[in-house]
Structure 1
């Protein structure tokens, strides 16, 4: 995980990066359970909140993408040759970045995290409550904050539920960077922490 030392406390703190861009795709709550079959309910345990943003040719956004790639090299040097870039938006022609966050954490990996209730505004039909709570928990580390920029450019209003976001909306995301082992290699991912809707008037 990308961290920095607090000058006052001397403790390590997670570093978050802010990136502004245009939504190319997103998967955000509330989620739907399209089948009552048990295996569909089990798949909910792997639900993710994710968003892909692009600059559509913006030089400043392209520079951010390059800076993110550079930050990947700040992780364990001997593993660099094994890194797999998970930040690219896939088939999108313009450079893109994807940030996501799991809605649940396996109980065995949740040590040290506070378990919190799922905001009912994000799950109005109680679908996520079908997940086996003895195996999966929703922790503070799984939470994603949603905000809407107010008329004061330096102030944002937090909202309980994910605002209606469309492809083409301009947003700012906050994300942390994490390296994870994956099939003999290492994947560097952007972990979604918050989304601020800056401008949705064009959609």
Structure 2
């Protein structure tokens, strides 16, 4: 983070954003709501393709949907589209390619509640697994503060049954055709690999609405909201050991004033420095959706990411881990 970035102002803004976004019935999708009590809100379900165990919610007698939660914070690291040819090296492999984002609250109380909630939900998933156990989970960090990292791989591996259904790459994701070339026949970009990007716009009645946003415009220090799912994935080479991943579903820009202010300050500072004479021997060195959140609407907006799961009553076998 730039030294001119106002961390204290960001900490206060994140706290207010998290309080505002937790109002009304949509508080049920706020991660920070589960720092003390999970209650009977959630369950666990198994899917065959790909093999995994997801945090889910029961709705009605038989309807079970994947849970998509929300959390707000400041971007401290991100790898988001577009994927450009200049960023690909010979060591890149399709299975490792992913889009990711890391958020921090700079010590904000509400963000710490979100971190505690994530730990509680991981413990819940471990207690409700039919097979195996959950590997110990801990948040990542940014400098001295806890942080949360969310990611989603661009591809899953196609199985012999051809269960993985490909979808088109979203706009601005693959302008150079890099991902399409890497995928070949073995790797597939599916609906589950898609991440949506939005920006919050103010409207006349002061109720926020969200519009599509270019992912290349996100910057370190931007205050954003992330939507994500939680999945337990079997670890390769570890008997019945699973780890929990936070799967990125959507990113929404909430406030970029502080990051822009830091950039403007840096520009002013840079322009006031004396110009160094040219040195011939030294070369210059040159990165799920929303609709109106109604009071009585617990959906997660336009992406409908609390989507129905294909559930199998068959127990998971020991072969293969989820490939994001």
TM-score clears 0.5: yes
For 1:164, which of 217, 224, 231 is the aligned residue? 217
C-alpha distance after superposition, 1:53-83 (max 9, x if no partner): 0000100000010011000011142755x51
Shift >6 Å, 4+ stretches: none
| Alignment of 1:4 onto 2:57 | yes
TM-score by length of 2: 0.56
Shift, 1:112, TM fit: 4.9
Say which of 72, 77, 92 aligns to 1:20.
72
CA contact (8 A) 2:84 2:175 kept: no
- 2:108 aligns with 58
How many pairs are equivalent? 197
Q: Aligned with 1:56: secondary structure? A: coil
**1:46 equivalent in structure 2:** 96
CA contact (8 A) 1:146 1:163 kept: no
> Root-mean-square deviation (CA), in Å?
2.4
* Aligned residue in 2 for 1:70: 120
Shift of 1:109: 8.6
Asked if 1 retains the 8 angstrom alpha-carbon contact of 2:55 and 2:229, the reply is yes
Structure 2: give runs of 5+ residues left out of the alignment. Answer: 1-53, 260-324
Q: Which runs of 5+ in 1 are unaligned?
A: none
Evaluate the alpha carbon distance shift between residue 32 and residue 146 of structure 1 in structure 2; reply closer, same or farther with a 3 A threshold. same
* Structure 1 position 155 matched with structure 2 position 209: yes
Name the structure 1 match of 2:183. Answer: 132
Q: Which moved further from structure 2: 17-26 or 28-37?
A: 28-37
CA contact (8 A) 1:113 1:141 kept: no
Aligned equivalents of 1:127, 1:195: Cα separation in 2: 23
Give the distance between the partners of 1:95 and 1:179, measured in 2 at CA. Answer: 22
Where 2:107 maps in the other structure, the secondary structure is coil
Measured in 1, the distance between the counterparts of 2:253 and 2:106 equals 18
Q: 1:119 deviation in Å?
A: 2.1
Assess if the C-alpha contact under 8 Å between 1:45 and 1:131 holds in 2.
no
CA distance in 1, matches of 2:171, 2:198: 17
The verdict on how the C-alpha distance between 1:127 and 1:174 changes in structure 2, with shifts beyond 3 A counting, is: same
Q: CA deviation at 1:91?
A: 5.4
- Tell me by how many angstroms 1:131 deviates: 1.3
* Greater strand share, structure number: 1
Q: Does 1:95 align with 2:146?
A: yes
Aligned to 1:105: 156
